[in-house]
Structure 1
């Protein structure tokens, strides 16, 4: 396999976090461990710097994180997906040892960076979304939890 590590998150884009939270409670009996609004400052979107805000619900499902994302601003990876494909599976995230190695590997496979920046975790942790939609129907995300470049 490529330089990608283990899958640690599945992301779903939605219009309404309240409806998603109610649905998770009804269908799976789960409560979110986190509900927040995140603003990613100076993130790179399609080669230009932006600020992007997204509402987030996080659930732990047997060690796999389910993330529900509701975009609050336009011109970002989450709103684009919602506009183009509607609600649904947005990304699968991989924990990687090296952000640069994962990026280089995906670029060599013809999968380009869509949006990337500093994670809300801080400490040098970075995230990146890759435009794998033409190949897989959803995006790939990488996160370097150890903060290595």
Structure 2
């Protein structure tokens, strides 16, 4: 029998995927040239465009570069920290470049605040928050039981600044492989059963399909190019246009 999620915050769709990088310009060129992802809008992510910024609840000043590209129904974002305290700089220092967060849209700036307040009351604190443009708002929330940073965002109209574009004029994509959509985001976890329960109870994400990811279902398996054997569990669910996948390693390479 179908049941209703007890979550007070319900995420209906993953609308964006964010990465932290050291060099936005070089990275957008690489995405364009290797996977045909673009064109890109690049913004100076700083005051006065970004205001009321907080880092772990403390008022701060910081500067970044932000690059955005639409990949199907999902927005891919790249953030390059330049100066000041931010979770992007924290991430670079702790983990290096790579996948940083997933985001979802809410209906208003007040809903961003309400979402953060609900999750804070459940033990999941805000890492960074702020406002941008004309009544836009964001809040990054550290939800450790979900093994990911989730960002609640309200976008009111456009971002509020004129971007620099890459490429600067229309041109043929040089990439031989062209990615037209982001279909799946995968997370590696230690305990799939517990993690799917957490997603259902905290963000209302589910129901989940769980599979034994092993032979004979999985075959012709290679690890770093060589034939190998392994066993895992996988769990999948659709969150709007994106399939969210969890993978738990059990045995093998």
Output the TM-score relative to the length of structure 2: 0.52
1:129 aligned residue: 140
1:111 aligned residue: 124
Of residues 38, 42, 61 in structure 1, which corresponds to 2:71? 61
Q: Does the 8 Å CA contact 1:7/1:94 hold for their aligned counterparts?
A: yes
Aligned counterparts of 1:22 and 1:145: Cα–Cα separation in 2: 26
Q: How far has the Cα of 1:91 moved from its partner? A: 0.8
User: Cα distance 1:82–1:135, how it changes in 2: closer, same or farther (>3 A)?
Assistant: farther
Kindly report structure 1 stretches of 4+ aligned residues shifted beyond 4 Å.
none
1:102 aligned residue: 115
Aligned counterparts of 2:106 and 2:85: Cα–Cα separation in 1: 27
Structure 2 unmatched ranges of 5 or more: 1-6, 158-253
Of residues 15, 26, 50 in structure 2, which corresponds to 1:19? 26
Identify the structure with the greater helix proportion: 1
Q: How far has the Cα of 1:52 moved from its partner? A: 1.6
CA-based RMSD of the aligned residues comes to: 2.0
Secondary structure at the aligned position of 1:73 is classed as strand
Aligned counterparts of 1:105 and 1:95: Cα–Cα separation in 2: 16
Q: How far has the Cα of 1:79 moved from its partner? A: 0.5
Q: Point out which structure has higher relative CO (alpha carbons under 8 A, 6+ apart).
A: 1
1:8 aligned residue: 15
2:218 aligned residue: none
Aligned counterparts of 2:148 and 2:61: Cα–Cα separation in 1: 23
The structure that has the greater radius of gyration is 2
Secondary structure at the aligned position of 2:138 is classed as strand
Say how many residue pairs are matched: 144
Which region of structure 1 is more displaced relative to structure 2, 70-79 or 23-32?
A: 23-32
Deviations 1:46-77 (A, max 9, x none): 12111221111111100210001100113111
Aligned counterparts of 1:104 and 1:3: Cα–Cα separation in 2: 14
